[in-house]
Structure 1
């Protein structure tokens, strides 16, 4: 196996671990309430937690600062809007955890976030990996 494949898998794995902590362990009540409103400071802070984690992950890989700033700015925008779409949809359908639609919305949200990480890793390989 080429050396870079191990780096790609490790980078993707670390981004997924970061995601687990940022999405499921580090959310505050402010981040969780009122998410169906677009300009929501809690959602902005939540996306910021994701960005801080991504910065740390990319620093581990000695990624150039310019790449980190660009990729994390894009990640913040994408993450903020994915979460808004899920919250808006869930609110409009009045979804609760005991409903299948809630879990479809949650699963779609999580898949979109992980597709974002695939795109970020692709960009890292294409533009930042040495």
Structure 2
């Protein structure tokens, strides 16, 4: 492990900033509608936006292309499914922003995404950091 603590925290911060933009600024109406369906093109596009941001972060840190491709594919799959689980649960329970359960579901969704970034940074330190 040759990555510095500073590099680890910087990468994590950049991934979290990327997440905020991809989740809250870059979603289109297509990405937000019909999210309770599993095979949803909008959710696939949303997950791809996340991957593009992560690719930029890993390129900045000089990660090898093979690492970026593997981590990107895993991030896409994980993000797609985390969002589906939250949307499916929220739809089944008919959750609205006025209900505490809505915010618990949203919070768990965000926690799972954040833990994904912790795992991605761990993978970079373990397999790709120079």
TM-score (norm 2): 0.98
Name the residue aligned to 1:127.
Answer: 127
- Deviation string, structure 1 residues 22-71 (Cα, Å, up to 9, x no partner): 00000000000000000000000000000000000000001100000000
Name the residue aligned to 1:95.
Answer: 95
Are 2:113 and 1:113 equivalent residues in the alignment?
Answer: yes
Name the residue aligned to 1:28.
Answer: 28
CA–CA separation in structure 2 for the residues paired with 1:29 and 1:11: 30
- Structure possessing the higher relative contact order (Cα contacts under 8 Å, 6 or more residues apart): 2
Question: What SS does the corresponding residue of 1:26 show, helix, strand or coil?
Answer: coil
CA–CA separation in structure 2 for the residues paired with 1:92 and 1:47: 22
The ranges of structure 1 where at least 4 consecutive aligned residues each deviate by more than 3 angstroms after the TM superposition are: none
Shift of 1:99: 0.7
TM-score (norm 1): 0.98
CA–CA separation in structure 1 for the residues paired with 2:97 and 2:72: 31
Shift of 1:3: 6.6
Which structure 2 segments of 5+ residues have no match? none
CA–CA separation in structure 1 for the residues paired with 2:12 and 2:23: 16
Which structure 1 segments of 5+ residues have no match? none
Are 2:41 and 1:38 equivalent residues in the alignment?
Answer: no
Are 2:79 and 1:48 equivalent residues in the alignment?
Answer: no
Name the residue aligned to 1:65.
Answer: 65
CA–CA separation in structure 2 for the residues paired with 1:114 and 1:53: 14
